[in-house]
Amino acid sequence: MPVHINNICERNYVNVSSGRRLIPTTLGVVLVHGYQKIDVDLVKPTMRAAVEQQLNLIAHGQANFSEVLHHAIDIFQRKFKYFVETITAMDELFEVSFSPLAATGKPLSK
């Protein structure tokens, strides 16, 4: 199983059905909807593909590592800042599907 598929299974974003199909969990669906609401680029595969393309250019000596790194950091810093500023949109979606942690009576949850 590819590492990224294993990761999303371990994080409980999806389950694998008997036919090896990925079935999203409630958590997975809420996260995708939240990301779409805040920044649709975070859900699309184009962002990861663009980074991988730049890494391939570096590997073939056609792009400068430092320039690619600084460009990627700049993009993700801006996206992170915007995400933090608008996180209440994500909170609202979670409140519909999940109970507050305090309601469980546990200080931490896994």
Tell me: pLDDT of 74 over 90.
Answer: yes
Residue type, 51: V
pLDDT of residue 109 exceeding 70, the answer is: no
Residue 110 has pLDDT above 90, yes or no: no
Match domain 3-98 to its CATH number in 1.10.460.10, 3.20.20.10, 1.20.1090.10, 3.40.50.300.
1.10.460.10
Confidence of residue 107 (pLDDT cuts 50, 70, 90): low
Residue 97, classed as helix, strand or coil, is: helix
Q: Write down the domain spans for the chain.
A: 3-98
Adjacent-strand bridge partners of 24: 14
Q: What phi, psi does 86 have (nearest 5°)?
A: -115, 20
- Amino acid identity for residue 99 in this structure: S
Q: Write the CA distances from 86 to 76, 78, 79, 83, 94, integer angstroms.
A: 15, 12, 11, 5, 14
Tokens of 80: 């992170």
Mean pLDDT of the chain: 90
31 Cβ contact partners less than 8 Å away, ≥ 6 residues apart: 13
